[in-house]
Amino acid sequence: MRVDQGRLRLKSQRKQLDMPLVISTAALILIGLIIIYDASVVAAYRDFNDKFHFFANQLIWAMVGTFSLIFFTFFDYKKIIKIAPYIFLASFILLLLVLVPFIGTEVLGARRWINIGTFTFQPSEFAKLAVVFYATYIISKFENFKMRLKDTLIVYFLPIFFVMLSVVIQPDLGTALIFFGVAAIIYFTAGAPIIHFLLTAPFLVLAVIGAIITHPYRIERIKAFLDPRILIPY
C-alpha cells in the first residue's frame, strides 16, 4: 500500500510541474550566463588567459542545478522532509567549521569557504536549502495545531536564528537576512497570524541596525547604494 501511495504521489508531483516557472527560470539562467560573459570576458582573459573562465564556472553550476531539477522531479520530496532536521544540523556544523582555522578559508576579511583540494565549498549556500527543508518540516508539524508564537519561536525561529548568527559572524549579513526572509515567507504562507510578524518585526529591525552600525563598511555600502559615485570598500 505504501509503495502504491508513493507512486501515486510521484505521478501527481510530475503532473503538477509548473512549466511556466521552469521556462522562466531557464530564461533567467540563460540571460544570467550571457551577462556574466559580457561583464567578465576582459578580466577573465587578463587574469586567466581564458575569456570563458568565469562563464564556464557558472555554466557548471547551471548544469548542476538543471540535473538537480530533473532528479527531484522524479524523487518523492516527502523523503527529504523526513530527514530535514539532520540536513539542517549538518549545515549548521559546516557553518561552524568555516570559523575554525585551517579548515575555513579567509578571503578579504571574510571566512565563508571550505577548501577541499581544488574544490571550494561555501556552506551557507547548502544552508539555504537546509533552512527551506527544516522550515517546511516544522510547519508540517503544526498543520493540525494552532500556531502559538512561543512555540514557534522555540522550535522554528530559534534554530534558524543560530544558523543566521553563525553566518553573521563570518561576516555575511546579506545571506543571514535571506535565511530569515525564507523562514518568514514559509511561516506566513502556512497561515501564521499576522500579529506574530507585527510583534517580532521591531526586534528584527533593531538587530539589523545593530549589525550595520557596528561594522562601518556596511554603512559605506549603504551610502554607495544611495550614491553610486562612492567607491565601495572591501
- Please give the grid coordinates belonging to residue 33: 550566463
Question: Would you state the pLDDT for residue 1?
Answer: 46
Residue 120: strand pairing partners: 115
pTM: 0.69
- H/E element holding 104? strand 104-107
DSSP state of 157: I
Q: C-alpha angle 126/161/89, rounded to 5°?
A: 45
Range name among 32-36, 55-59, 213-217 with the lowest pLDDT average = 213-217
- Please give the grid coordinates belonging to residue 201: 518585526
Identity at 161, one-letter amino acid code:
F
DSSP state of 96: H
47-105 pLDDT tens trace: 888 888 888 888 888 888 888 888 877 777 777 888 889 999 999 998 888 887 777 77
Residues 144/189, Cβ–Cβ less than 8 Å: no
Residue 111: strand pairing partners: 106
